[in-house]
Structure formats: structure tokens, C-alpha cells
A and B are shown apart, each in its own frame.
Chain A
């Protein structure tokens, strides 16, 4: 790890630690169980790269609580974004892994931070190409506001009012080689 990164993370405001993240995800798991009596039809679709790790953890909590293994997969949104061709940098595309037919299933999109809603719109578009699910729900670890589309999360780990120039950084052990944490920093 280089020095500049360390100094920037020490200036950041801690929002959640590993335990808080774990509690929030456990609560989301409970809410998913409560809202979806037929858990076997549920598919958790994580948006890379932290959303799929969060989806795996939620699936783990559901298995712990209800002893049911729900399907969990990865939904890539890069090629469904509405800003391809207008950005100087392309989002990196990753292979999606979902059950081939989503007919009649309940798909829960899982992401780390819910911000403008554009990523979620792209994810809904991507899910549509796998079939026609019965319903789509949305789970996010952090909802930071500033929506640009009419999109609302069904399950939220923490509502975090932010200014537009602030940055929410989620760190997970499996994806970042750092202890679990959520921090808020100024641009």
C-alpha cells in the first residue's frame, strides 16, 4: 500500500466498521426472509465487484437463519450503461453468472452504494436479457441519496445523507484486502 492512500484514508470519516456492516447485512437478510415467503424463488444478483461479495454474505446469513440456500449470482452492468461512448474511460466488463432462466423468479439486485440509480437501471436492463422475472427488488449497503432516476431501494443497510462532492468508500476484506469498513471523504 502506498503512502498517499494511507493519508487519504486517515482523513476520511469512519461510518461503519466490520461489526456494523455485518449487523446491517444480517438485518437485510431478515427483511428479505420476511418480504419473500417463497425463498426458493429468490435470486441475489450482485453488481461487481463489491455487490457480488455482499450478495454472497447475505446468502450466507439467509442460510444460517432459514437453512435455505438461495441462488446468488453476478450481474454485469458495464455493457448496459447509458454512457458508453461518452466517457473517456470505459467501465471494465465482467461475465455475468445468473441462472439461465429467471422466469418467475424474484431477483434482488445487490450493490454496495446506491447513488444516482443509473447503475441499477443498467442492472434491471441486463436482468431483462436473462428472461422475465416475476419481480425485481433492490438491496444496498449504503443509500447516499442524489438519485437521478425514479429508483428506490427495498433493503438499505444505512441511509447516509451526503454532499455531492463527498465520496463513500466501501472496503471489504475479500475484494480489497483491507478490513471491512465504510468511510466518507471529501473529494
Chain B
């Protein structure tokens, strides 16, 4: 069994008062029980029920005919968000539920809540980023936290200070939350174990980008009403993509069927070990996909030998106007941005009715507010 989180029936009554509403609890419907990531090879529906039945029979506290519980609640006890690999399906759903509440804040006259008043957030971006950094910054402002932005060139990393020393100095200034983007996989884990402050991974190398995957999941759930059972195609540079890895972990845990599509050099068969399918022919996958998530070709991480040229990539894997006609009419087109118009996606498709690319940006703010609230709000 993967890490069983502290999720369960609350004993004290006051805690139940703030639990979720019945109508919005679609993702709790399968509760109790969570998807065991390592048992993905068993048939999806059967496995879930067997697993939970076993678990509760062992506990001996729940009768077969027990009343359905409408307000399962959860004890969030993580100070860091390092990746989706370590989260349970329940924890991912809990973040998405929390993001619902923060999305509503964006529609108010005053779009600011005092939840993290007096906390200091440091945006520490060793790799350049506009979208993610601004999104985190705005999320922190909306939660009334104070924000400092640091980049590699403006910090003493340029003078040869180690990552750990820079981070410890920030902590000595009583930073409460550290949002870290780094070119090395594992940098957030490294700091998370050494700092008292919360560490939020905003992308580490080609490893994970949890908040991007969470906002993708949130957008799918919002637009399609569910995630389990959907067929999601992730197209492009999977090998170098942290977005793809986090998406794979999250989607598989929530019961979606994932197919990775791309040139054989960028989508090796090794990925099948994560419980996903691999295809090298986009035209076979598009007609049956419910969601197409296109990834940017990352020039900065690539050397030339992975594929001959951008125009050939577009011809074989780009979502052109003609290819878009293969899609189901309700298929969602997603892209984490920035878009290379005319490379992985045609302009007409990116601006078309099926595209939810800008919804992803809006939802990113809500999801990041939820993550900051959950990780920064617990007392450590």
C-alpha cells in the first residue's frame, strides 16, 4: 500500500462543520478507498472496491450496510508540496476541492482574503519563468502574504553561494513559504528536508511540476465533471517534460487512461512502467481522446539529435487544423504554455472553441492559492 494518509472520519464534531457540500462532492463518491498506485494493472473498478472492502473488513468497524457518510474530511499534514508522486488520490482530490473555494474568491468585489496575513513567501526562481512566478505571486497577494522575488542572477547564487546557504539565509529572515524552481531534479526535496519553512516545488529539472498538473486536473474536472475513465493524450516532448510526469502521476491516480504520444526519441517505451500507453502515431490517438494536452517543445533542454527539425515535428505531431477535425466534438485541448504557435499547435486551434488554455491560467491561480493555504496554513 502506498503511503496511507491521515484521512478518515473525524471524531470531534466541530471539525465536521467546515466539511464540503454534498452537491460538489463528486470526487468523494468513491470514498472510502483510494487508488493504490502500484495496483494499476488490475481492472480499475474491481480493484478499488476489493481494496477498500479489504481495508475496512480488517478495521472491523464498518458494517456492509453502513450509512453513506456525506462529509468525509481530511487532515492535511504536509508542509511541502514536492510532487504528485507522493500524494494519494484523496489528497489530490482534497486540493482540488479546496481550489473550488479559492476560485470563488476571484469573483468577489474584493479579491483578497486574510488567510496568510503576516506570512512571508519567497519566490525563488533559479530558472527563468514568467507565468508560474506571476501566478504564485498573485496567489500570495490574494492570500495577504508578503512576497519577495529572487532569481538566480539577483541572488548570491551568482557569487557562488550554495543553494542550501541561500535558503538558510532566507529562513533566518523568517520566510514562511519558499516557492522553488530549479534546474536540478530533487532540489525542492533537498530543501524541504532541511528547512522549517514550507517548500513548494514550482518545477525541478525534468522531474515534477505539481501545481501545473493540479491545475490541469482541476480544468479537466471542471469542464468534464470527472477525471476517472477519461482518455487523456499527452503529446510532445515527454522525456524532458516535468509537466508530463506530474500529469501522469496525477491522472493515473485519479483513474484516467493516459496515452503518451510523440517521436520515439522523446517518448521511450520505458514510460509504460508508469501505467500509461505509448503511441508514436498521433492520428490513431486523436479520435478517441477526451482530452489532448500538448506540451511545448523545449528548445532549451534539447539537443538537435532528438528530431530533425521543427517543421518535421509539426508535420508528424503538430495539432494542425486538419488534425483537429479528427477530435471528438467535446474533446478539450490543453497546453501548459507558452505556446509555440505553428509548431505544436496551429493558431486557429489554440484560439478555437475546444481550447481551454486560458481557463488553465485562471484555474492555476485558484489551485496555487489552495496549495499555499494548505501548506503555509498549518502550524509546523
Interface residues of chain B: helix, strand, loop or mixed (majority): loop
Q: Report the bound CA distance from A35 to B19 in whole Å.
A: 32
Check B115 against A79 for contact (C-beta < 8 Å).
yes
Give per-residue flags for A81-125: 1 if the beta carbon is below 8 A from chain B beta carbons, else 0.
Answer: 110111111111111110011000000000010000000000001
Q: Which residue of B lies closest to A77 (CB)?
A: B18
A175 proximal to B (CB < 8 A): yes
Q: Report the bound CA distance from A107 to B112 in whole Å.
A: 20
20 contacts between A and B (CB under 8 A): A1-B67, A48-B21, A49-B17, A49-B19, A49-B71, A50-B17, A78-B101, A78-B115, A79-B113, A82-B114, A84-B116, A84-B373, A85-B379, A88-B379, A92-B73, A96-B101, A100-B109, A129-B108, A129-B112, A175-B70
Check A49 against B105 for contact (C-beta < 8 Å).
no
Q: Report the bound CA distance from A32 to B212 in whole Å.
A: 48
**Given contacts A49-B17, A89-B15, A89-B75, are A76 and B101 in contact (CB under 8 A)?**
yes
Residue in contact with B377 in the complex, picked from A84, A96, A125, A126, CB distance below 8 Å: A84
Give per-residue flags for B55-95: 1 if the beta carbon is below 8 A from chain A beta carbons, else 0.
Answer: 00000011000111111011110000000000000000000
Residue in contact with A94 in the complex, picked from B70, B101, B143, B379, CB distance below 8 Å: B101
Q: Report the bound CA distance from A169 to B18 in whole Å.
A: 14
Residue in contact with A2 in the complex, picked from B24, B61, B111, B143, CB distance below 8 Å: B61
Q: Report the bound CA distance from A88 to B377 in whole Å.
A: 9
B218 proximal to A (CB < 8 A): no
Q: For the complex, count residues of B whose C-beta is within 8 A of A.
A: 49
Distance to closest chain A CB from B366 (angstroms):
10
Give per-residue flags for B9-33: 1 if the beta carbon is below 8 A from chain A beta carbons, else 0.
Answer: 0000101111111001000000000
Distance to closest chain A CB from B131 (angstroms):
24
Q: For the complex, count residues of A whose C-beta is within 8 A of B.
A: 40
Q: Which residue of A lies closest to B9 (CB)?
A: A2
| A contact residues around B109 at 8 Å (CB) | 100-101, 129-131
**Given contacts A85-B116, A94-B18, are A169 and B108 in contact (CB under 8 A)?**
no
Q: Which residue of A lies closest to B76 (CB)?
A: A90
| B contact residues around A80 at 8 Å (CB) | 113-115
| CB under 8 Å from chain A, chain B span 364-380 | 370, 373-374, 376-379
B1 proximal to A (CB < 8 A): no
Give 6 nearest A-B pairs by CB, closest first. Answer: A93-B101, A129-B110, A79-B115, A95-B104, A79-B113, A91-B18
Check B98 against A93 for contact (C-beta < 8 Å).
yes
Q: Report the bound CA distance from A175 to B13 in whole Å.
A: 13
Q: Which residue of A lies closest to B142 (CB)?
A: A79
| CB under 8 Å from chain B, chain A span 111-162 | 112, 125-126, 128-131
| B contact residues around A19 at 8 Å (CB) | none
B100 proximal to A (CB < 8 A): yes
Give per-residue flags for A65-82: 1 if the beta carbon is below 8 A from chain B beta carbons, else 0.
Answer: 000000000101011111
Check A177 against B70 for contact (C-beta < 8 Å).
yes
Distance to closest chain B CB from A176 (angstroms):
8
| A contact residues around B100 at 8 Å (CB) | 94-95
